Structure 1
Amino acid sequence: MKRTVLFLCFCLVFSAAFAQKSETKNVPLEAAQWVFAPGTVEFIREKELPAMKILPEAGKVVAKDLDFSDGTIEFDVKPNSLTFYFHYQDAKENECFYLRMNRAGNSTALEGIQYAPLIDGVLLWDIYPHYQSNATFTRGDWNHIKLVISGAQMRIYVNDNEQPALEVEHLAGNPKRGSIAFEGDMVVSNLVVTPGKTEALSSLPGMDPTNNDPRYIRKWAVTNPVPIPENVDFSYDLLPSPETSWSVLEAERRGLMNLTRTFGENEARSIIWLKVNIQSIEEQKKKMNLGFLDGVWVFLNGQILYLDKNLQGRLMEKDPGGRCSVDNTSFMLPLKEGPNELLIGLANDPSWGRGMIARMGDMEGIEIKPDPTFDARLIELPEAIVRTYAGEYVFPNGTKMQVAVKGKYLHFSNESTLSTMLYPEADNKFFSRDFGFEIEFAKNKEDNVTHFIVYSNGQQVGQGKRIE
């Protein structure tokens, strides 16, 4: 009997707690409940109900004393424009849903509504194209919006409480709880928040459709952002150096390298380098699909292979609509037998998402691993040895070459076209990353450097005699 009484007491307490957790809360549409710039929000009545009129210049209008994680949010809205925020921590970290008002009245427009996280102040609509959809809504008239949020998932209903207009299988923002906010030009009424009412929506992330696809490259060696000088699109001076620091990062869902999450908003245009090593059992060509924002430079084994731009709203915009997608572009990788270095530079402007997705055509005969080194061939040589190779050399055709010490390495140049750094791979052998050749220095019996031999793809292609 005693156990039965205790069990009934437990059930009553649990039921009361659950009922409290799911208690519906009508959020007052009155000035004391909201944070806003003076003179930008009016509290009125519409159809005999309290309403909040937000003017276009208001910015974000944030609810006070509201801490929401899971549950249902519903409201009626008469918009000229509408952006709604939840899990709102501050203006830089939150989750966001908005209507694209130029699609109002067009129920078949694929990009009518959008969910996107705000990370470090960057709205990542352009790296999550799969989180947009069509919906039926009108400008300047009443619409009903309902969001059901449960852990990692969300459903958004627009003027239809039975069929969701957008299903988000994985919320991508950093905050998991916070306030709510509105931004735009609109009138809001009937704002209701019901914590805990998730309508049987799972809190676990939905399936990643790429999970069983081994072709995606999901680990990369990555540098920190490198600022790009003003009025410079690209320069070889931006390439990684032996002093460059690398870290290994894993892709997020769908193979996305979300570099905005890692590095935040960049203050000026900058470039990040990503690198892998592709081990090939034979000489062969492999197709690569690449999604990127917004400029990309692809180097294979030190040679430029591909460069492109993905600029939304311009002629160089890639499908779909200038967003990051594995369908943005594709090209062939001419792999040699053995190790191949794939180096990709990803550049973008401030306030735009920075992301990349890479997928091979197939994985037959190749193995891919992140390569957090400047070059696997590079060794450390004492500066005294490096200095012995400095001097002037001449090819049989009379072309003179200068070999000069530059830091811990050598600089190889002539007066006209050639200028490249030489990096040591042995006591007397150096390589050029820019041009793909190797230089081997030779000495006489007196241990003096007499000449160098040039190799390309393992074959001797030239020789230069030391004259100074």
Structure 2
Amino acid sequence: MTKILFSIILLLSLQIAFGQSSLQKIDMIPAKWNVPKDALFENFDNRETLVLKKGRATVKNLSFTNGTIEVDIYANPKRSFAGINFREHNNHLEEVYMRMHKSNQVDAVQYTPMFNNESNWQLYREHQAKVPFRDTGWNTLRVEVRNQSAEIFVNNTRVMTVGKLKTEQYQGGVGLWALFGNRFSNFKVSHRNIDQKPDLAKPANGDPNIITSWKITTSFPYEENKLNFSSFAKEEYTSVSTEESGLLPISKYVKKSSAGSFEQNKEDYIVATKTIESENNETRLFSFDYSDKIMVYLNGKLIFKGNNAFRAKGIQHTGHVDINTNKLYLELEKGINNIHCVVIDKANGWGLIGKLE
């Protein structure tokens, strides 16, 4: 009895010392959740469960900053997706999910930010992990969040560390997400008190050739063969910064005309421009990548068109971005030169990355 009492006191002391509350279970009942109309609350396997066919379920009246979020997800071999959302605010959020049909494949688990209700998984291949799932019963997905970093666990095994969460939001709602139908149970949340505010300063990039800022327009509906370069100069441009890798997640800054419906979205485009000043006539190498499609102009002349959309080059084509995928030798004139990139997107990640050498 004395040993049991000592263990309880020690556990409570550790929780207080680290500012960590115990995991609080959120009942799977309508009174606790905001859910889509077709969601189902039902008893299954002697548990309260929530079945999400498509969309997000959010815990009512709960704001999350730091701590742990955990949920059990029932095994599902069919093509489907199931995960956790956190720090949801103003249509931006962080998301961790399992591709239920991809057990032990390189992209079984994914972290991605959501910007303006748009997923960006194509832009973040480095935040995928090869993880085996149980093919029967329940799999437990857990996310431990500390300021601007997160550790991700599946069935109590750490599978990924995200060193810097991308939305840079500090708090917001929490909940679940599914596509093509999945069953959730045993949702739990704990809160951790951390005095230190998130460090939003960008670390110095090791490659001085990476483009770290662009000027971009707002978004416009895209109609093929109806773009006119002469109109680009008339548009209003806003200066924006890239992530430390050089990636420009366009949806972070620009809201599309349609979002959240994946390949059913309409295509939108923005124009991103960069000015290059050259002391002499010279040739420089422009390495870049994009999602989904691009047209590159140099001093008003179209020099490249490409399509990197999901499955654009076959059913296995993911459309991930890599700064060294495309290379153009730019014939620069003495004085001011301008690159204009028309970046077109439908879904899964609207991005641009480049460097000049």
TM-score normalized by the length of structure 1:
0.63
Residue number in structure 1 paired with 2:86: 86
Residue number in structure 1 paired with 2:255: 264
From 315, 340, 348, the equivalent of 1:343 is 340
Structure 1 residue 239, shift from structure 2 partner: 4.1
Residue number in structure 1 paired with 2:25: 26
Q: Contact 1:216 / 1:255 at 8 angstroms: preserved in 2?
A: yes
> Alignment partner of 1:260: what SS?
helix
Structure 1 residue 147, shift from structure 2 partner: 0.8
| Corresponding letter in the other structure for 2:95 | C
**1:313-324 aligned within 5 A:** 313-315=311-313, 321-324=318-321
Instruction: Give, in whole Å, the separation in 2 of the partners of 1:213 and 1:19.
Output: 38
Residue number in structure 1 paired with 2:4: none
Structure 1 residue 207, shift from structure 2 partner: 8.0
> Alignment partner of 1:103: what SS?
coil
User: Residues 221-261 of structure 1: CA distance to partner in whole angstroms, max 9, x if unpaired?
Assistant: 222233333xxx23452543553222222222311122211
Instruction: Give, in whole Å, the separation in 1 of the partners of 2:350 and 2:20.
Output: 38
Quick check: 1:292 aligned with 2:290? yes
Q: Contact 1:310 / 1:317 at 8 angstroms: preserved in 2?
A: no
Quick check: 1:168 aligned with 2:165? no
Larger deviation: 115-124 or 136-145? 136-145
Q: Contact 2:15 / 2:21 at 8 angstroms: preserved in 1?
A: no
| Corresponding letter in the other structure for 1:297 | M
Instruction: Give, in whole Å, the separation in 1 of the partners of 2:302 and 2:314.
Output: 20
Structure 1 residue 116, shift from structure 2 partner: 1.2
**1:102-113 aligned within 5 A:** 102-104=101-103, 106=104, 109-113=105-109
Q: Contact 1:94 / 1:117 at 8 angstroms: preserved in 2?
A: yes
**1:363-378 aligned within 5 A:** none
Structure 1 residue 99, shift from structure 2 partner: 0.9
Q: Contact 1:44 / 1:52 at 8 angstroms: preserved in 2?
A: yes
Structure 1 residue 152, shift from structure 2 partner: 0.6
**1:301-320 aligned within 5 A:** 301-315=299-313
Measured on the aligned residues, the alpha-carbon RMSD in Å equals 3.2
Structure 1 spans left out of the alignment, 5+ residues: 1-13, 363-468
TM-score normalized by the length of structure 2:
0.80
| Corresponding letter in the other structure for 2:27 | P
Instruction: Give, in whole Å, the separation in 1 of the partners of 2:16 and 2:156.
Output: 31
Identity of aligned residues (%): 20
Residue number in structure 1 paired with 2:354: 358
Instruction: Give, in whole Å, the separation in 2 of the partners of 1:97 and 1:334.
Output: 43
| Corresponding letter in the other structure for 2:70 | E
| Corresponding letter in the other structure for 1:237 | N
Q: How many residues align?
A: 331
Structure 1 residues 206 and 102, CA gap change in structure 2 (3 angstroms): farther
Instruction: Give, in whole Å, the separation in 2 of the partners of 1:356 and 1:20.
Output: 40
Instruction: Give, in whole Å, the separation in 1 of the partners of 2:153 and 2:146.
Output: 15
Q: Contact 2:229 / 2:300 at 8 angstroms: preserved in 1?
A: no
Q: Contact 2:247 / 2:353 at 8 angstroms: preserved in 1?
A: yes
Q: Contact 2:275 / 2:336 at 8 angstroms: preserved in 1?
A: yes
Larger Rg: 1
